Amino acid sequence: MSIDRWQQAVTALRSYWTALERDWQSVAVGVATVALTTVFGVQIPW
């Protein structure tokens, strides 16, 4: 993927994120964390 495409993707993601209500942002962070642990098998230490 060219740098321009990356920049477009990042810009689109950022505007989508900014448009989200804070509660939905919390849900998105939760979903991302669950995806990290279940799909990618990331272990989060304590």
Partner 1 sequence: MAVYRLLPGLLVLCLGAILARAIELTAGFNHLLVAIALGFVLANGLGIPSRLEPGLATHKLWLGAGIVLMGASLTLNTILEAGAVVLFVVVLVTGLTIALVELLSRNVFGLADRLGSLLAAGAGICGVSAVVAVAGAIRAREGQIAYAAATVLLFDAATIVVYPIVGDLLGLSDVVFGIWAGVSMFSTGPVVAVGFARSELAGQWATMTKLARNALIGVVVLGYASYYARTGEGARPSVRTLWDEFPKFVLGFLALVVLASAGVFSPAQRASIENAYSWLFVLAFVGLGTEIRLAGLRNTGLLPVIVVLLSLLVGSTLSLLLLALLF
How many whole angstroms separate alpha carbon 46 and alpha carbon 7?
35
Instruction: Give the shortest CB-21-to-partner 1 separation in angstroms.
Output: 7
Residues 1 to 46 in contact with partner 1, rule: CB under 8 A: 14, 18, 21-27, 29-31, 33-34, 37-38, 42-46
Instruction: Give the shortest CB-41-to-partner 1 separation in angstroms.
Output: 8
Q: How many chain residues interact with partner 1 (CB under 8 A)?
A: 21
Residue type, 35: A
- Among left, alpha and beta (phi > 0; psi -120 to 50; other), residue 42 is beta
Q: What tokens were used for 14?
A: 């950022």
Specify the residue for token string 């991302």.
Answer: 32
Give residues in contact with partner 1 (CB under 8 A).
Answer: 14, 18, 21-27, 29-31, 33-34, 37-38, 42-46
